[in-house]
Structure 1
């Protein structure tokens, strides 16, 4: 679910993500969100302009039909929901002699390839940024469906038409991207009942829909959710005759249930069934009373997104090439504690453990998986010799690094593992 601020939140996330990248690649570059025709009134001398120029309905989204609930008169109704695709034009400005527009284009393409999925953490970080305080009430982070960013294959003629028709200004170096799918909830039921002709007092049992407002780790609001975490599910009307929780495709029965809170240890879900990444969570009531006219049946809450982060349990390296000052290539096998689906995007992150100009690398698994697995193989290349901290991202859900808690250690309070070491003859 997401409210009317969803569209603006997507734009803010893109602006913040791109700003963090381009300012490192081109000095003084900044990302703006003004109409391209407004040259000199907000468009940077050096930078990228991000402009939402088109919006279309997403007819494929299964959420377009809304979710069921009951009004105060006991009649079923639906809350409307609309899926949208957003189209952005990114234009590049700067010193043509020093090829700044082209350098910025390369920086943006690389960044949007690395962050091709807008995950919950990116949204939460943006909403916590004081620059976007006007989006504080956005609940886009609760959307279960993935938000993907993909480049559009527009010809020069198509781009020129966009500039000439929409902005009536000369063409600048530009690319277009599509963001899909963004879901917006309606504030009112989709259907309105006919006027009441006669009033009669009748006592009708009410099958109240449970409402999930927030899901966090019991260890703390800002603590990551791992396979051994306990979830704190907060909301309204959470306790039913029989209360279950559905997470992903698994239904479990929590032991601690009250009207406003459920504690659910993820250990109740087997490691073979719990998935890494973004999972849909719902509270499900099994109604046992069956007092007419309220029949026995099942009542489900709204769905919220839960990001379950994997843990690396083994790292192996083979097929190493390179020696002395040469850049290294190798095959890295990462084993995690949770199964990863065939269609999930998995990325390996390497960060050099060095105080002297450390470097970082990202490698996406290129080979398509044929089954659910917790063993992922990456081919890495162009990596300089050194010691690296290793993380994996599964649809944006990032594994956690271990911190040295020994106060007598020279690496106290620093990240220490998991790691790989790239030397002259071996990587381990």
Structure 2
């Protein structure tokens, strides 16, 4: 399939997700039919008699920071092998472009509380779907193509294979990208539309491959090899059952798919070639390095010839992506209440496995577990100059009480286990009483989101 459909496909999948969720929500039944569109905000006009409406608008596309690796990582890791591989297969998966899609979701209502109800339901739907599975993408694309067969998207999809596009998309993650008042004001000024309650989300990672050459003398090595043998296909990448499928540092990776067993089977992870410990036609098991950084990674299965096992070329599978979640241990340093130095700060130290590099973006989320509070405080940590396994932050501006700590490194969130004491801290601040929770917080770079206790 023309991989240029990747962006439109993700928009169609999100639109279908919202449509189905709104229909199934009984709390919204009194509103009647809710229109879901994907138009520029300046083209939407809701009158007094207009029906409630939700609009999903792609306002920006940015390059995923992992795209640098996808295009150049193999060359930097092993330039000799990359050069030989490029000559043998100039159209391989290293030409993929990884991008982030930034969406603005706006709600429109004509009666009291309609916009608030719609906005709350939308955020709940998106929060419940942090990762889009292959099955969900396939189902949504088929539904979108069948709803308007005369539309341009349906016509573009009709003559192509869903499976090929799904493999090109890889794993798609949805995460909130909450704006403050100034950021939202700037965005709506650019859109030149009438402001309505809105929320922003980032969707990553969507991959776009280079088009196959139109030169009949140039053929993808996987297509040429498929005349003689089956091409391996990766359908899913998970970890051992001990982590409920979540991939954490040092865990065994389990690859499920088709035709994975070859004469000589290798796994290419971030440009490094690994030998799987278990090789079956529908499953591979490979050990990942404990130093593999948190974030999004790309993995492929490579079949090599027995006569040339050292060759960098071979029959390669689709490039699947997965998210490596960091492990953390949090502790709080509480100021001495008898100390005469009122400037002593309350700090939280978070230890990371694996270590964090200076190029990675790190957020800490403090989730109140006090029965009288459901506040969540998100703090962006300043970048460091060296690789480190510990981050310390001042929390003087956060109310006293018990909190769960969760970290996000390059979009990969640490597992949140409410039963584990290593993720729980007690904050006691001298200069901010718990009764001041609703006061405006200053002096820290963070965004505050109020969630219900069950949402995290």
Give the TM-score normalised by structure 2: 0.57
1:152-206 Cα deviation digits (max 9, x unpaired): 996887544xx5xxxxxxx4469998968743458x8443527xxxxxxxx9995
Partner of 2:424: 419
Matched pairs, number: 360
**Offset of residue 226 of structure 1:** 1.9
Note the 1:210-249 alignment, pairs <5 A: 210-219=232-241, 222-248=244-270
Q: Does 1:39 align with 2:48?
A: no
Q: Which residues of 2 match residues 65-214 of structure 1 at below 5 A?
A: 121-124=130-133, 127=136, 134=143, 142-143=170-171, 158-160=190-192, 171-172=194-195, 182-185=206-209, 189-191=212-214, 193=216, 206=228, 209-214=231-236
Shift of 1:358: 2.7
2:361 paired residue among 339, 345, 352:
345
**Residues 61 and 321 of structure 1: is their aligned pair in 2 closer, same or farther, counting only changes over 3 Å?**
farther
Q: CA deviation at 1:233?
A: 0.9
Alignment match of 1:277 (pick from 295, 316, 326): 295
Which position in structure 2 is the counterpart of 1:302?
318
Residue 397 (str. 1) matches residue 391 (str. 2): no
Gap change, CA 1:306 and 1:45, over 3 Å in 2: same
User: How far apart are 1:302 and its partner, in Å?
Assistant: 2.6
| CA deviation map 1:222-280 (0-9, x unaligned) | 531222432211223333444332333543322211233211233xx2x3x32122222
Does the aligned pair in 2 maintain the 1:289–1:296 contact within 8 Å? no
Q: Which runs of 5+ in 2 are unaligned?
A: 23-29, 75-81, 83-87, 145-161, 218-224, 432-456
Match of 1:7, SS? helix
**More helix as a share of residues:** 2
C-alpha contact 2:346 2:429 (8 A) present in aligned 1: no
Which residue is 2:375 aligned to?
A: 359
- Alpha-carbon contact 1:241-1:286 (below 8 Å) kept: yes
Post-superposition Cα deviations, 1:308-336, rounded to whole Å, max 9, x if no partner, equal: 2121235343668999xxxx973221002
1:375-415 deviation digits (Å, cap 9, x = unpaired): 122333432221111111112222223454xxxxxxxxxx6
Residue 123 of structure 1 and its aligned partner are, at CA, apart by 3.2
CA RMSD in angstroms comes to: 5.8
| CA offset digits 1:53-83 (Å, max 9, x no partner) | 788999x967799x99xxxxx9986689677
Partner of 2:10: 9
Paired with 2:229 and 2:354, the residues of 1 have a C-alpha distance of 36
Question: Whole-Å Cα distance in 1 between the matches of residues 401 and 63 of structure 2?
Answer: 49
Deviations 1:344-377 (Å, cap 9, x if unpaired)?
2211122222333432221111x21223222122
Q: Is the 8 A contact 1:238 1:258 kept in 2?
A: yes
Cross-structure match for 2:274: 252
Distance 1:341 1:305, change over 3 A: farther
Task: Give the match for residue 402 of structure 2.
Answer: 387
Query: Whose strand fraction is larger, Structure 1's or Structure 2's?
Result: 1
Taking structure 1 as reference, are residues 232 and 422 closer, same or farther at Cα in structure 2, changes over 3 Å only?
same
Equivalent residue, structure 1, for 2:389: 374
Corresponding residue number in structure 2 for 1:166: none
CA contact 1:218–1:230 (8 Å) conserved in 2: yes
TM-score (norm 1): 0.60
- Contact 1:336-1:374 at 8 Å conserved across structures: yes
1:154–1:402 distance in 2 versus 1, CA, 3 Å? closer
Inter-partner Cα distance in structure 1 for 2:58 and 2:283 = 40
Query: Is the contact between residue 293 and residue 324 of structure 2 (CA under 8 Å) also seen in structure 1?
Result: yes
Q: Verify the 8 A CA contact 1:32 1:44 in the aligned structure 2.
A: no
Alpha-carbon distance between aligned partners in 2 of 1:237 and 1:132, rounded to the nearest angstrom: 25
Q: Secondary structure at the match of 1:243?
A: strand
Mapped to 2, the partners of 1:88 and 1:144 lie a distance apart of 14
The aligned counterpart of 1:407 is none
Task: Give the Cα–Cα distance (whole angstroms) in 2 for the partners of residues 84 and 417 of structure 1.
Answer: 35
Task: Call closer, same or farther: CA 1:346–1:32 in 2, change over 3 Å.
Answer: farther
- Structure 1 CA distance, aligned partners of 2:7 and 2:366? 32
1:355 counterpart SS class:
coil
